Structures are given as C-alpha cells and as structure tokens.
Amino acid sequence: MDAIVSTTEFKPTWVQEKLFLGMTFKDYLKSNYTLFNAVVALILAVGIPVIMYRLLFGLGPSTNLSDNNPWGIWIGFDMLCGVALAAGGFVIGTAVHLLGMKEYAFLFRPAVLTGFLGYLFAIIALTFDLGRYYRIPYPMVVSWGVNSVLFLVAWHVALYLTCQFVEWCPAIWEWLNMNKLRRIFVKATLGATIFGVCLSMLHQSALGSIFLLMPEKLHPLWYSEYIPLWFFMSAIVGGLAMTIIESMASHRIFANQIKNHDPGQLDRVTLGLGKATSVTLFAYFFMKIIGLAHGNTWAYLDTGYGYWYLVEVLGFVLLPAFALMYAVQNKLVRMVRAWAIVAALGVILNRLNHSIIAFNWHLPWEYRYVPSWMEVVLTITVITIGVLTFRWIMNRMPILYDHPDFEPEEH
C-alpha cells in the first residue's frame, strides 16, 4: 500500500478501485502472496480435482455411500451444520429490525453476509451429493412432491437465500454507487426480514423433520416428535454462537476498515449475545429432557449410545449454558467467545449424531458409514471457497462500516 501512495499521481480506474482494492493489477497480485493464500492454494489444488472426479466418475468411486447409508457428510455436515450455523442472519435480523435492538445493528450486515454465504455454500455442497445435480430445479419447476418435508426444505432454502440476498443487497449497491437501487432494497429489508423469519422457523425445523420418517433407523435418544423444535432451537444457538465467533474474527482481521474502532462496543454486544445463547441453551436443554420423558427413553442412557448422548447434551449444551451464564455475569468477554465455540461445536455434534453417528445404529459395524477422504476434501474445499468469497466481499463492500457517501439505513 505504501508504495502506491508514494507514486503520487496514481489514480485508480474503476476496475482497479472496485476489484483490485485501489491497486494496479501487479500490486494486487503481489499483495496476495501470503501464507494464508498459500494454504488456500494447496487446498484448492487437491480439492478442485476431487470435485472434478466426483462430477465425472460419480458418487460410487468418490464416496463411501452405500445402499444402506445413502447420506454421508455432504448432507450431515455440509448441509445440516452449514444451514444451522448460518442462522445468524435470521437471529440478528429479528433482533434488530423486528425487536428494535439498535445496539446490535452494526452486526446485521456481517451476520446476513455470513448467513447468505452459509446457505449458498451449503447448497453448492449439496449439489455434489445429488445423483443428478443438473436437475436441482426440478422440485421448483417440474414436479411438486408436496407431501415431502424435503420439498419444503428445498423451497424454503431457495426463498430464504433470496431473502438474505435482498437484505445484503444495499451493501452491493453502495459498493457500486447505485443510490436508487439501494433505496429500493433498503425499503425491502423489513419485508424480507419478516418473510425470512417464517422461512427460517420452518426450514430449520424441517431439516430435523426429515428424520421423522425414520423412527426405525435413528436411535431413540435422538428420535422424537420434538425433532423439529430441537432443530429450530439449536439453530438459534448456532446462529448466535456463530455471530459471536464471526464478529470476533472479522473485527480482528478487518479492524483497519472500521473508523473509530471501538472494541468496547463489540464487547458489550458480545456479552448480550452470550446471554441470549445461554438462555437458549438452557431452554434447549430442558426440551431435550422433556423429549427423554415424553419418549420414555431413559433406559437407553445407560448404554454406549446413552453415554455419547450425555456427552452431547451435558458437555455441549448444559455446560456451555452454565459457562456462558457465569461469563456474562462476570463480564468475561473472552470466556464468552471461547464457550460460543463450544456451543457451535455442540450444534455440529448434534447434526452429525442425527445424520450419521446415531443413524442406522441397528446395523452391524461393517455396514456403517465412515466418510472417504474425498468426501472430507470436498467438504474442506467448499468451505475454503466460502471463506475466500467472504473475504473478497469484506475487502470491497461496506459490511463492517457505514459507507461515508450514504445515509445509515433507517427502519
């Protein structure tokens, strides 16, 4: 950057300003020689061929999926965890735009961006899992299977992606200096938020309801009529926890973007988010216990799967609930952040339990599913491309800061 300033008469063209961060193409390329990018390049060098291999040779050679185990980590991790952890956009949107919690407003754009990209890349990962990925619009335009929970998921995720795009759009128009479009989209934010709340409630719980059809395959400790509610509540936990984690990371990595950077403000808000996470975790924990009582599945607790269930529910739900409560009461911001990570891991663990670990529990071990290395690599690759996209946008669009040329959004 310093080099550019010293060449006094450098006036960036539109392309240089918008795409190359105000540098010449050469300087921009040079600025990308970093350790982080080297790691990214390595991942992509392995990952892109794996994606090609999957597309050209099919699911059989590239995955460990089988007739008994039709779903693997591309569903269990990429889709289920991706969507649950991307709930931040909906949670913060509700808090800011519907409940009027103005002090959280500066988190709205990053949360919506994280949410949007989370959904987008969950869908991209899902595409690789579909046997005929090129038919992905079929449930929308060719044939409606309205009796299927998955039909609801497909429609709602697609619509919600649109909602989040609308919510995030003002940032694009500010980046491109398109004031008229921006004004239209700012006005649409409230509608998109309300619509998004309905859609989120339904598809977050619907992702769990997929398993309602499998009482004979999912372990009784995880199978319950309460699955929809559990998935919804834990998605709120995931959204809140990820907002804490994401804001911590962005405010460190992109701190130079924020004028009058006030770490105190973020700390106050983090404490508030931590409190909300703690309360939601407690409520979720009690719903889990009510599920045990309702299904009368207590006896399973004293089995191998029972101990594993307790690890999830005590270690990754109740423990972070108490820890976050303690941290908030004693204003320990760092502790809130640390335990937010535990809560997010708990959501991941829960989704993996539902979809893989406690699924097909009746089958002998030799018929159980363990992901192939290519499934893992593809997952890592998709996440990496997601992070790259996030960074690309953060570096260019006014996500963390208010664009100086525009009035702040009013709602």
Partner 1 sequence: MLAGTGIVTALGLNDLAQADVATLPGYPDQLGVLVDTTVCIGCRRCEWACKESNKLPNQAPLKAYENGQAVFQKIRRTSADTYTVVNRFENPRDSSRPIFVKKQCMHCYEPGCASSCFVKAFTKAPVGAVTYDASLCVGCRYCMAACPFDMPAYQYYDAFTPQVTKCTFCFERISKEGGLPACVGICPAETMTFGKRTDLIDLAHKKIRDNPGRYVNHVYGEREVGGTSWMYLSAVPFNMIGFRTDLGTVPIPTFSKPFLSLVSPVFITIPALAMGFYSFKKRRDKLMEEEIQRALEKKEGK
Contact positions vs partner 1 (CB under 8 A):
55-61, 63, 65-68, 70-71, 94, 97-100, 129-133, 135-136, 138-139, 142-145, 147-154, 190, 193-195, 197-198, 201-202, 205-206, 209-210, 212-217, 225, 228
Q: Tell me the one-letter amino acid at 386.
A: G
Instruction: Please state, in angstroms and rounded to a whole number, the distance separating the CA atoms of residues 86 and 82.
Output: 6
Q: How far is the CB of 160 from partner 1 (least distance, A)?
A: 13
Q: How far is the CB of 289 from partner 1 (least distance, A)?
A: 21
Both tokens of residue 17?
Answer: 């300003």
Tell me whether residue 149 or residue 377 sits nearer to partner 1 (CB atom). Answer: 149
Count the residues in the chain.
411
What is the rounded CA–CA span in Å between residue 352 and residue 335? 26
Question: Would you list the DSSP string of 25-82?
Answer: HHHHHHHT--HHHHHHHHHHHHHHHHHHHHHHH-HHHH----SS----HIIIIIIHHH
Residue type, 346: G
Q: How far is the CB of 355 from partner 1 (least distance, A)?
A: 9
Q: Which is nearer to partner 1, 372 or 389 (CB)?
A: 372
Residue 181 CB, shortest distance to partner 1, in Å, is: 24
In the complex with partner 1, the residue whose CB is nearer, 58 or 263, is 58
**378 and 66 in contact (C-beta within 8 Å)?**
no
Q: Give whichever of 60 and 408 is closer to partner 1, judged by the CB atom.
A: 60
Other CB atoms within a 10 A radius of the CB of residue 130 amount to 13
Q: What is the rounded distance in angstroms from the CA atom of residue 39 to the CA atom of residue 41? A: 5
Helix axes 179-209, 149-175, angle to 10 degrees: 160
Which of residues 59 and 341 has its CB atom nearest to partner 1 in the complex? 59
Instruction: Report whether 185 contacts 173 (CB < 8 A).
Output: yes
**Tokens coding 252:** 């460190």
Q: How far is the CB of 91 from partner 1 (least distance, A)?
A: 14
Do 66 and 369 form a contact (C-beta atoms < 8 A)?
yes
Tell me the H-state helices in 133-262. 138-141, 149-175, 179-209, 227-253
Q: In angstroms, give the least distance from the CB of 347 to partner 1.
A: 20
When the beta carbons of 54 and 109 are compared against partner 1, the nearer one is 54
**Cβ 75 to partner 1 shortest distance, Å:** 9
Cβ within 8 Å of residue 379, ≥6 positions away: 73, 74, 77, 78, 125
Whole-number Cα distances in Å, 274 to 37, 86, 139, 144, 319: 32, 17, 39, 41, 14
The two structure tokens encoding residue 179: 């004031």
Shortest approach of partner 1 to residue 237 CB, angstroms?
20
Scanning 330-372, the segments in alpha helix (DSSP H) are 333-352
Which lies closer to partner 1 via its Cβ, residue 43 or residue 92? 92
Cβ 380 to partner 1 shortest distance, Å: 22
Residue type, 205: S
Choice between 35 and 56, CB closer to partner 1: 56
Residue nearer to partner 1 on the CB measure, 34 or 143: 143
Q: How far is the CB of 65 from partner 1 (least distance, A)?
A: 6
CA–CA dist 233, 145 (Å, integer)? 27
Least distance between partner 1 and beta carbon 74 (Å): 11
What residues have CB less than 8 Å from 206, skipping those under 6 apart? 149, 152, 153, 156, 228
Helix (H, G, I), strand (E, B) or coil at 359: strand
Nearer to partner 1, 337 or 354 (CB): 354
- In terms of CB distance, is 334 or 362 closer to partner 1? 362
